[in-house]
Amino acid sequence: MAGNIKNIGEQDFKATVLDSQKPVLVDFWAVWCGPCRMVAPIVEELSEEYKDRMDFAKVNVDEAPKIASSYNVMSIPTIILFKGGKPFEQVVGYRPKKDIQKVIEKTLR
């Protein structure tokens, strides 16, 4: 896992995501999810490219089901971009890097 992506759970979600001064991309995933493994390297690349402008976190839905259900994460992978402590944009399912980049750019405006 890239050094720029934090693995977070229910105990540190608020401090890492909701209280962050920067926008935060949160990747909701699970070990058994094939498309999640396809999205992971894309999220790692993006975390390098945008490390100065936003934070990146991963939430394992099996370990943190309350967080997933509180944001209506019904299928994974789901990427939610938080801005000002609130969900701003969401991407569900596998998407190519350029699609996720467009959502990041929109969030950073």
Q: Could you read off the pLDDT tens digit of each residue along the chain, which spans 109 residues?
A: 456 899 999 999 999 999 999 999 999 999 999 999 999 999 999 999 999 999 999 999 999 999 999 999 999 999 999 999 999 999 999 999 999 999 999 999 9
For residue 67, the model assigns a pLDDT of 97
Distance CA 55, CA 22 (A): 7
Q: Which two tokens stand for residue 62?
A: 């099996």
Beta strands at 86-92 and 78-83: parallel, antiparallel or unpaired: antiparallel
Query: Active site includes 75?
Result: no
The residue from 33, 42, 54, 91 that is catalytic is: 33
Query: Active site includes 33?
Result: yes
Query: Is residue 51 packed enough to be buried (19+ CB in 10 Å), middle (13-18) or exposed (0-12)?
Result: middle
For residue 1, the model assigns a pLDDT of 46
The residue from 36, 40, 73, 100 that is catalytic is: 36
What is the separation of C-alpha 92 from the centre of its chain, rounded to a whole number of angstroms?
A: 11
Domains and CATH numbers, the chain: 5-108 (3.40.30.10)
